[in-house]
Structure 1
Protein backbone atom coordinates (compact mmCIF):
# COMPACT_ATOMS: atom_id res chain seq x y z
CA UNK A 1 0.00 0.00 0.00
CA UNK A 2 1.41 3.44 -1.03
CA UNK A 3 2.33 5.81 1.74
CA UNK A 4 0.42 9.05 2.12
CA UNK A 5 2.04 11.97 0.28
CA UNK A 6 3.97 14.50 2.39
CA UNK A 7 1.73 17.33 1.13
CA UNK A 8 -1.39 15.47 2.31
CA UNK A 9 0.18 14.78 5.71
CA UNK A 10 1.05 18.48 6.04
CA UNK A 11 -2.57 19.49 5.39
CA UNK A 12 -3.86 16.89 7.86
CA UNK A 13 -1.48 18.03 10.60
CA UNK A 14 -2.67 21.64 10.33
CA UNK A 15 -5.92 20.51 11.96
CA UNK A 16 -4.22 18.35 14.60
CA UNK A 17 -4.27 19.69 18.15
CA UNK A 18 -2.49 17.01 20.20
CA UNK A 19 0.59 14.81 19.95
CA UNK A 20 -1.47 11.89 21.31
CA UNK A 21 -3.72 11.87 18.23
CA UNK A 22 -3.77 8.31 16.75
CA UNK A 23 -2.84 9.81 13.37
CA UNK A 24 0.30 11.32 14.92
CA UNK A 25 1.17 8.01 16.58
CA UNK A 26 0.91 6.33 13.20
CA UNK A 27 3.18 8.94 11.56
CA UNK A 28 5.82 8.46 14.24
CA UNK A 29 6.43 5.04 12.67
CA UNK A 30 7.06 6.66 9.28
CA UNK A 31 10.83 6.95 8.80
CA UNK A 32 10.73 9.52 6.00
CA UNK A 33 12.68 12.66 6.89
CA UNK A 34 9.91 14.87 5.51
CA UNK A 35 7.34 13.28 7.83
CA UNK A 36 9.59 13.54 10.88
CA UNK A 37 10.22 17.20 10.06
CA UNK A 38 6.46 17.84 9.95
CA UNK A 39 6.01 16.12 13.31
CA UNK A 40 8.72 18.31 14.81
CA UNK A 41 6.95 21.41 13.44
CA UNK A 42 3.67 20.19 14.94
CA UNK A 43 5.30 19.67 18.32
CA UNK A 44 6.73 23.19 18.25
CA UNK A 45 3.39 24.71 17.18
CA UNK A 46 1.51 22.95 19.98
CA UNK A 47 4.15 23.97 22.54
CA UNK A 48 3.89 27.59 21.41
CA UNK A 49 0.10 27.44 21.65
CA UNK A 50 0.35 26.07 25.19
CA UNK A 51 2.68 28.93 26.11
CA UNK A 52 0.22 31.46 24.69
CA UNK A 53 -2.64 29.82 26.64
CA UNK A 54 -0.65 30.17 29.85
CA UNK A 55 0.13 33.79 29.00
CA UNK A 56 -3.56 34.51 28.35
CA UNK A 57 -4.54 32.92 31.67
CA UNK A 58 -1.93 34.99 33.52
CA UNK A 59 -3.07 38.19 31.80
CA UNK A 60 -6.69 37.46 32.69
CA UNK A 61 -6.03 37.70 36.45
CA UNK A 62 -7.51 41.21 36.79
CA UNK A 63 -10.62 40.17 34.85
CA UNK A 64 -11.09 37.02 36.95
CA UNK A 65 -10.86 39.11 40.11
CA UNK A 66 -13.59 41.41 38.76
CA UNK A 67 -15.83 38.45 37.86
CA UNK A 68 -15.52 37.19 41.44
CA UNK A 69 -16.66 40.60 42.68
CA UNK A 70 -19.79 40.36 40.54
CA UNK A 71 -18.68 42.52 37.59
CA UNK A 72 -19.36 40.96 34.20
CA UNK A 73 -19.03 43.81 31.70
CA UNK A 74 -15.39 44.74 32.20
CA UNK A 75 -13.94 47.28 29.78
CA UNK A 76 -10.21 47.49 29.18
CA UNK A 77 -9.11 50.98 28.13
CA UNK A 78 -5.92 52.22 26.50
CA UNK A 79 -4.80 55.09 24.28
CA UNK A 80 -2.24 55.55 21.52
CA UNK A 81 -0.70 58.63 19.98
CA UNK A 82 0.64 60.75 22.83
CA UNK A 83 4.05 61.25 21.24
CA UNK A 84 3.36 62.01 17.54
CA UNK A 85 3.75 65.51 16.16
CA UNK A 86 0.60 65.14 14.07
CA UNK A 87 -2.81 63.53 14.18
CA UNK A 88 -5.24 62.79 17.00
CA UNK A 89 -4.80 60.84 20.21
CA UNK A 90 -7.04 57.77 20.05
CA UNK A 91 -8.39 55.59 22.84
CA UNK A 92 -10.30 52.32 22.72
CA UNK A 93 -12.50 50.58 25.25
CA UNK A 94 -13.05 46.85 24.79
CA UNK A 95 -15.39 44.50 26.67
CA UNK A 96 -14.45 40.86 26.12
CA UNK A 97 -16.96 38.11 27.01
CA UNK A 98 -16.14 36.05 30.07
CA UNK A 99 -15.33 32.88 28.12
CA UNK A 100 -13.22 34.48 25.42
CA UNK A 101 -9.75 33.23 24.54
CA UNK A 102 -7.74 35.31 22.09
CA UNK A 103 -4.22 33.92 22.13
CA UNK A 104 -1.33 36.32 21.58
CA UNK A 105 -2.86 39.44 23.11
CA UNK A 106 -0.16 41.83 24.27
CA UNK A 107 0.86 45.47 24.32
CA UNK A 108 0.35 46.57 20.69
CA UNK A 109 3.86 48.06 20.59
CA UNK A 110 5.29 44.56 21.10
CA UNK A 111 3.49 43.13 18.06
CA UNK A 112 4.22 43.26 14.34
CA UNK A 113 1.72 45.06 12.11
CA UNK A 114 0.64 41.72 10.63
CA UNK A 115 -0.01 40.26 14.10
CA UNK A 116 -1.87 43.40 15.20
CA UNK A 117 -4.18 43.21 12.20
CA UNK A 118 -4.86 39.52 12.82
CA UNK A 119 -5.66 40.15 16.49
CA UNK A 120 -7.72 43.23 15.60
CA UNK A 121 -10.01 41.00 13.52
CA UNK A 122 -10.26 38.37 16.27
CA UNK A 123 -11.07 40.98 18.91
CA UNK A 124 -13.81 42.46 16.72
CA UNK A 125 -15.26 38.97 16.16
CA UNK A 126 -15.40 38.14 19.87
CA UNK A 127 -15.86 41.43 21.72
CA UNK A 128 -19.14 42.19 23.45
CA UNK A 129 -18.58 45.88 22.66
CA UNK A 130 -15.90 48.24 21.36
CA UNK A 131 -15.80 52.02 21.79
CA UNK A 132 -13.42 54.52 20.15
CA UNK A 133 -12.54 57.99 21.42
CA UNK A 134 -10.65 60.46 19.24
CA UNK A 135 -9.30 63.89 20.24
CA UNK A 136 -7.95 66.11 17.45
CA UNK A 137 -4.60 67.90 17.28
CA UNK A 138 -6.43 71.21 17.73
CA UNK A 139 -8.04 69.98 20.96
CA UNK A 140 -4.68 68.59 22.16
CA UNK A 141 -3.20 72.08 21.71
CA UNK A 142 -6.04 73.58 23.74
CA UNK A 143 -5.94 71.26 26.77
CA UNK A 144 -2.50 69.45 26.66
CA UNK A 145 -1.87 65.83 25.76
CA UNK A 146 -2.47 64.42 29.24
CA UNK A 147 -5.96 65.88 29.48
CA UNK A 148 -6.64 64.98 25.83
CA UNK A 149 -5.74 61.35 26.56
CA UNK A 150 -8.21 61.28 29.46
CA UNK A 151 -10.88 62.85 27.25
CA UNK A 152 -10.27 60.23 24.55
CA UNK A 153 -10.58 57.43 27.12
CA UNK A 154 -13.81 58.87 28.50
CA UNK A 155 -15.24 59.16 24.98
CA UNK A 156 -14.28 55.56 24.23
CA UNK A 157 -16.20 54.33 27.30
CA UNK A 158 -19.20 56.51 26.44
CA UNK A 159 -19.19 55.11 22.88
CA UNK A 160 -19.54 51.49 24.03
CA UNK A 161 -22.85 50.02 22.83
CA UNK A 162 -23.12 48.20 26.17
CA UNK A 163 -22.51 50.03 29.46
CA UNK A 164 -19.47 48.70 31.31
CA UNK A 165 -19.81 47.91 35.01
CA UNK A 166 -16.06 48.06 35.72
CA UNK A 167 -13.07 49.67 34.01
CA UNK A 168 -9.48 48.49 33.78
CA UNK A 169 -7.38 51.43 32.59
CA UNK A 170 -3.76 51.57 31.50
CA UNK A 171 -1.95 53.79 34.02
CA UNK A 172 -4.71 56.42 34.33
CA UNK A 173 -7.99 57.28 36.01
CA UNK A 174 -10.84 59.04 34.22
CA UNK A 175 -13.70 61.23 35.36
CA UNK A 176 -16.63 58.88 34.87
CA UNK A 177 -19.05 57.33 37.34
CA UNK A 178 -18.02 53.69 36.85
CA UNK A 179 -15.82 51.68 39.26
CA UNK A 180 -12.30 51.60 37.84
CA UNK A 181 -8.81 50.30 38.44
CA UNK A 182 -5.60 51.94 37.23
CA UNK A 183 -3.04 49.32 36.16
CA UNK A 184 0.57 50.30 35.47
CA UNK A 185 1.78 48.67 32.23
CA UNK A 186 -1.76 47.35 31.90
CA UNK A 187 -1.44 46.74 28.17
CA UNK A 188 1.01 43.91 28.97
CA UNK A 189 -0.79 42.67 32.10
CA UNK A 190 -4.51 42.60 31.26
CA UNK A 191 -6.14 40.92 28.26
CA UNK A 192 -8.86 43.60 28.11
CA UNK A 193 -6.38 46.48 28.12
CA UNK A 194 -4.15 44.67 25.61
CA UNK A 195 -7.18 44.27 23.32
CA UNK A 196 -7.94 47.99 23.66
CA UNK A 197 -4.29 48.80 22.90
CA UNK A 198 -4.46 46.81 19.66
CA UNK A 199 -7.83 48.23 18.57
CA UNK A 200 -6.67 51.80 19.19
CA UNK A 201 -3.31 51.29 17.46
CA UNK A 202 -4.80 49.72 14.32
CA UNK A 203 -7.53 52.39 14.16
CA UNK A 204 -5.05 55.25 14.47
CA UNK A 205 -2.51 53.75 12.05
CA UNK A 206 -5.22 53.37 9.40
CA UNK A 207 -6.39 56.92 10.05
CA UNK A 208 -2.86 58.26 9.54
CA UNK A 209 -2.60 56.34 6.27
CA UNK A 210 -5.72 58.19 5.12
CA UNK A 211 -4.15 61.50 6.17
CA UNK A 212 -1.09 60.54 4.13
CA UNK A 213 -3.27 60.64 0.99
CA UNK A 214 -4.15 64.26 1.80
CA UNK A 215 -0.68 65.27 3.04
CA UNK A 216 1.79 63.02 1.16
CA UNK A 217 4.99 64.90 2.09
CA UNK A 218 5.38 63.69 5.68
CA UNK A 219 5.34 59.86 5.35
CA UNK A 220 2.35 59.56 7.71
CA UNK A 221 1.68 56.11 6.22
CA UNK A 222 5.05 54.96 7.58
CA UNK A 223 5.51 56.98 10.79
CA UNK A 224 1.90 57.52 11.99
CA UNK A 225 2.80 61.14 12.74
CA UNK A 226 5.91 60.49 14.83
CA UNK A 227 8.93 62.72 14.28
CA UNK A 228 10.95 60.55 11.93
CA UNK A 229 13.60 61.93 9.57
CA UNK A 230 11.16 61.83 6.63
CA UNK A 231 8.54 63.68 8.67
CA UNK A 232 10.99 66.37 9.82
CA UNK A 233 12.26 66.79 6.25
CA UNK A 234 8.66 67.28 5.10
CA UNK A 235 8.13 69.94 7.78
CA UNK A 236 11.27 71.79 6.70
CA UNK A 237 10.28 71.77 3.03
CA UNK A 238 6.49 72.18 3.21
CA UNK A 239 5.68 73.56 6.64
CA UNK A 240 2.88 72.38 8.90
CA UNK A 241 -0.59 71.02 8.13
CA UNK A 242 -3.95 71.36 9.89
CA UNK A 243 -3.31 68.09 11.76
CA UNK A 244 0.05 69.08 13.26
CA UNK A 245 0.17 69.72 17.03
CA UNK A 246 1.18 73.37 17.31
CA UNK A 247 1.93 73.10 21.04
CA UNK A 248 4.68 70.52 20.43
CA UNK A 249 8.23 71.92 20.44
CA UNK A 250 9.38 70.69 16.98
CA UNK A 251 6.30 72.27 15.39
CA UNK A 252 6.46 75.66 17.13
CA UNK A 253 9.38 76.89 15.01
CA UNK A 254 7.28 76.50 11.86
CA UNK A 255 4.41 78.70 13.09
Structure 2
Protein backbone atom coordinates (compact mmCIF):
# COMPACT_ATOMS: atom_id res chain seq x y z
CA UNK A 1 0.00 0.00 0.00
CA UNK A 2 2.89 2.36 0.73
CA UNK A 3 4.30 1.74 -2.73
CA UNK A 4 0.98 2.87 -4.21
CA UNK A 5 1.12 6.18 -2.35
CA UNK A 6 -0.69 5.62 0.96
CA UNK A 7 1.29 6.89 3.95
CA UNK A 8 -1.01 6.52 6.99
CA UNK A 9 -2.30 2.96 6.80
CA UNK A 10 -4.30 1.99 9.87
CA UNK A 11 -4.85 -1.53 11.14
CA UNK A 12 -8.20 -2.05 12.90
CA UNK A 13 -9.45 -4.86 15.12
CA UNK A 14 -11.86 -5.54 17.97
CA UNK A 15 -11.89 -7.48 21.24
CA UNK A 16 -14.74 -9.00 23.21
CA UNK A 17 -17.28 -10.01 20.58
CA UNK A 18 -17.94 -13.37 22.22
CA UNK A 19 -18.33 -12.04 25.76
CA UNK A 20 -21.56 -12.04 27.72
CA UNK A 21 -20.66 -8.92 29.71
CA UNK A 22 -19.54 -5.39 29.02
CA UNK A 23 -18.59 -3.36 25.99
CA UNK A 24 -16.88 -4.50 22.83
CA UNK A 25 -13.60 -2.65 22.30
CA UNK A 26 -11.81 -1.72 19.08
CA UNK A 27 -8.51 -0.10 18.26
CA UNK A 28 -6.96 1.54 15.23
CA UNK A 29 -3.19 1.82 14.86
CA UNK A 30 -0.99 3.54 12.28
CA UNK A 31 2.47 2.06 12.72
CA UNK A 32 5.49 4.25 12.10
CA UNK A 33 7.78 2.54 9.54
CA UNK A 34 10.75 4.36 11.11
CA UNK A 35 10.04 2.86 14.56
CA UNK A 36 9.69 -0.90 14.04
CA UNK A 37 8.17 -3.17 16.66
CA UNK A 38 9.20 -6.78 17.16
CA UNK A 39 6.86 -9.49 18.40
CA UNK A 40 3.53 -8.19 17.11
CA UNK A 41 1.01 -11.04 16.80
CA UNK A 42 -2.66 -11.78 17.18
CA UNK A 43 -3.45 -10.78 20.78
CA UNK A 44 -5.11 -14.14 21.44
CA UNK A 45 -1.77 -15.90 20.94
CA UNK A 46 0.16 -13.73 23.40
CA UNK A 47 0.50 -14.10 27.16
CA UNK A 48 -1.16 -11.35 29.19
CA UNK A 49 2.19 -9.92 30.34
CA UNK A 50 3.54 -9.82 26.77
CA UNK A 51 0.39 -8.08 25.52
CA UNK A 52 0.82 -5.43 28.22
CA UNK A 53 4.49 -4.89 27.29
CA UNK A 54 3.65 -4.59 23.59
CA UNK A 55 0.76 -2.21 24.30
CA UNK A 56 3.19 0.22 25.97
CA UNK A 57 5.55 0.01 22.99
CA UNK A 58 2.73 0.45 20.46
CA UNK A 59 1.51 3.58 22.24
CA UNK A 60 5.06 4.98 22.34
CA UNK A 61 6.11 4.19 18.77
CA UNK A 62 2.97 4.30 16.63
CA UNK A 63 2.36 7.28 14.39
CA UNK A 64 -1.21 7.31 15.78
CA UNK A 65 -3.44 5.02 17.81
CA UNK A 66 -6.91 5.12 19.35
CA UNK A 67 -9.12 2.78 21.37
CA UNK A 68 -12.92 3.02 21.47
CA UNK A 69 -15.89 0.91 22.50
CA UNK A 70 -19.57 0.20 22.04
CA UNK A 71 -21.65 -0.50 25.13
CA UNK A 72 -23.59 -3.61 26.07
CA UNK A 73 -26.85 -1.72 25.43
CA UNK A 74 -25.63 -0.72 21.95
CA UNK A 75 -24.75 -4.37 21.30
CA UNK A 76 -28.27 -5.38 22.31
CA UNK A 77 -29.82 -2.65 20.14
CA UNK A 78 -27.89 -3.14 16.90
CA UNK A 79 -26.26 -6.62 17.25
CA UNK A 80 -22.65 -7.50 17.98
CA UNK A 81 -21.36 -7.22 14.41
CA UNK A 82 -22.76 -3.71 13.97
CA UNK A 83 -21.61 -2.70 17.46
CA UNK A 84 -18.10 -3.98 16.67
CA UNK A 85 -18.11 -1.93 13.47
CA UNK A 86 -19.35 1.09 15.45
CA UNK A 87 -16.49 0.74 17.95
CA UNK A 88 -14.06 0.40 15.05
CA UNK A 89 -15.43 3.55 13.39
CA UNK A 90 -15.08 5.44 16.67
CA UNK A 91 -11.45 4.33 16.96
CA UNK A 92 -10.66 5.28 13.35
CA UNK A 93 -12.40 8.63 13.79
CA UNK A 94 -10.18 9.40 16.79
CA UNK A 95 -6.88 8.85 14.95
CA UNK A 96 -4.65 11.91 14.84
CA UNK A 97 -3.25 12.23 12.25
CA UNK A 98 -6.07 10.57 10.33
CA UNK A 99 -5.53 7.48 8.22
CA UNK A 100 -5.65 7.38 4.44
CA UNK A 101 -6.18 3.60 4.15
CA UNK A 102 -7.68 0.90 6.39
CA UNK A 103 -6.73 -2.74 6.84
CA UNK A 104 -9.48 -4.33 8.91
CA UNK A 105 -9.74 -7.76 10.51
CA UNK A 106 -12.53 -9.63 8.69
CA UNK A 107 -14.98 -6.75 8.15
CA UNK A 108 -15.26 -3.20 6.88
CA UNK A 109 -15.64 0.12 8.67
CA UNK A 110 -18.10 2.84 7.80
CA UNK A 111 -15.39 5.40 7.07
CA UNK A 112 -14.69 7.30 3.83
CA UNK A 113 -11.23 5.98 2.94
CA UNK A 114 -10.17 3.01 0.82
CA UNK A 115 -10.04 -0.17 2.86
CA UNK A 116 -9.58 -3.90 2.76
CA UNK A 117 -11.12 -6.59 4.98
CA UNK A 118 -8.70 -9.42 5.67
CA UNK A 119 -9.70 -12.79 7.13
CA UNK A 120 -7.33 -13.57 10.03
CA UNK A 121 -5.84 -10.13 9.48
CA UNK A 122 -4.60 -10.00 13.09
CA UNK A 123 -2.28 -12.91 12.26
CA UNK A 124 -1.23 -11.57 8.85
CA UNK A 125 -0.79 -7.79 9.16
CA UNK A 126 1.36 -6.07 11.80
CA UNK A 127 -0.87 -2.99 12.08
CA UNK A 128 -3.96 -5.17 12.65
CA UNK A 129 -2.03 -7.24 15.22
CA UNK A 130 -1.11 -4.00 17.01
CA UNK A 131 -4.77 -2.96 17.00
CA UNK A 132 -5.82 -6.35 18.35
CA UNK A 133 -3.33 -5.94 21.22
CA UNK A 134 -4.53 -2.45 22.16
CA UNK A 135 -8.20 -3.47 21.94
CA UNK A 136 -7.63 -6.56 24.10
CA UNK A 137 -5.51 -4.76 26.70
CA UNK A 138 -8.00 -1.88 26.87
CA UNK A 139 -10.96 -4.20 27.31
CA UNK A 140 -9.22 -6.35 29.91
CA UNK A 141 -8.31 -3.24 31.94
CA UNK A 142 -11.93 -2.04 31.76
CA UNK A 143 -13.31 -5.42 32.85
CA UNK A 144 -10.78 -5.55 35.69
CA UNK A 145 -12.19 -2.29 37.03
CA UNK A 146 -15.78 -3.46 36.53
CA UNK A 147 -14.98 -6.65 38.49
CA UNK A 148 -14.76 -4.47 41.60
CA UNK A 149 -18.20 -2.97 40.92
CA UNK A 150 -19.81 -6.33 40.15
CA UNK A 151 -18.37 -8.85 42.63
CA UNK A 152 -19.29 -12.52 42.51
CA UNK A 153 -19.15 -13.02 38.75
CA UNK A 154 -15.40 -13.66 38.45
CA UNK A 155 -15.02 -11.06 35.73
CA UNK A 156 -11.31 -10.45 36.39
CA UNK A 157 -10.66 -14.14 35.67
CA UNK A 158 -12.81 -14.82 32.60
CA UNK A 159 -13.12 -11.22 31.27
CA UNK A 160 -16.83 -11.71 30.61
CA UNK A 161 -16.51 -14.74 28.34
CA UNK A 162 -19.10 -17.55 28.69
CA UNK A 163 -17.14 -19.84 31.00
CA UNK A 164 -18.83 -22.35 33.27
CA UNK A 165 -18.02 -20.09 36.24
CA UNK A 166 -19.64 -17.09 34.56
CA UNK A 167 -22.78 -18.98 33.53
CA UNK A 168 -23.19 -20.38 37.05
CA UNK A 169 -22.84 -16.89 38.54
CA UNK A 170 -25.40 -15.57 36.06
CA UNK A 171 -27.91 -18.18 37.21
CA UNK A 172 -27.08 -17.58 40.88
CA UNK A 173 -26.92 -13.76 40.88
CA UNK A 174 -28.86 -12.82 37.77
CA UNK A 175 -27.62 -10.51 35.02
CA UNK A 176 -26.22 -7.06 35.77
CA UNK A 177 -27.05 -3.94 33.80
CA UNK A 178 -23.85 -4.53 31.77
CA UNK A 179 -24.69 -8.06 30.66
CA UNK A 180 -25.64 -8.43 27.00
CA UNK A 181 -29.31 -9.35 27.09
CA UNK A 182 -29.36 -10.38 23.42
CA UNK A 183 -26.99 -13.29 24.20
CA UNK A 184 -28.73 -16.61 24.94
CA UNK A 185 -27.08 -17.44 28.33
CA UNK A 186 -27.92 -13.97 29.66
CA UNK A 187 -31.48 -14.13 28.35
CA UNK A 188 -31.94 -17.57 29.93
CA UNK A 189 -30.63 -16.32 33.28
CA UNK A 190 -32.86 -13.27 33.06
CA UNK A 191 -35.94 -15.43 32.42
CA UNK A 192 -35.10 -17.65 35.39
CA UNK A 193 -34.86 -14.65 37.73
CA UNK A 194 -38.14 -13.04 36.62
Q: 1:32 is matched with which residue?
A: none
TM-score by length of 1: 0.73
Q: How far apart, in 2, do the equivalents of 1:230 and 1:236 lie?
A: 10
Task: Could you tell me which runs of 5 or more consecutive residues in structure 1 were left unpaired when the two chains were aligned.
Answer: 1-65
Q: CA RMSD in A?
A: 0.8
CA contact (8 A) 1:72 1:98 kept: no
1:229 to 154, 164, 167: 164
Equivalenced residues, count: 190
Bigger radius of gyration, 1 or 2? 1
Residue 125 (structure 1) aligns with: 60
* TM-superposition CA deviations, 1:49-71 (whole Å, max 9, x none): xxxxxxxxxxxxxxxxx110111
Give secondary structure in 2 for the equivalent of 1:254: helix
RCO comparison, higher one (Cα < 8 Å, 6+)? 2
Q: C-alpha distance in 2, partners of 1:183/1:240? A: 35
Q: Answer yes or no: is 1:216 the counterpart of 2:165.
A: no
SS in 1 for 2:95: coil
Could you tell me which of 102, 114, 118 is aligned with 2:37?
102
Unaligned runs of 5+ in 2: none
Task: Name the CA distance, whole Å, in 1 between partners of 2:117 and 2:165.
Answer: 36
State the shift of 1:100 in Å: 2.5
| 1:175 paired residue among 88, 110, 113 | 110
Moved over 4 A (4+): none
TM-score, scaled to structure 2? 0.96
Distance 1:125 1:155 in 2: 21
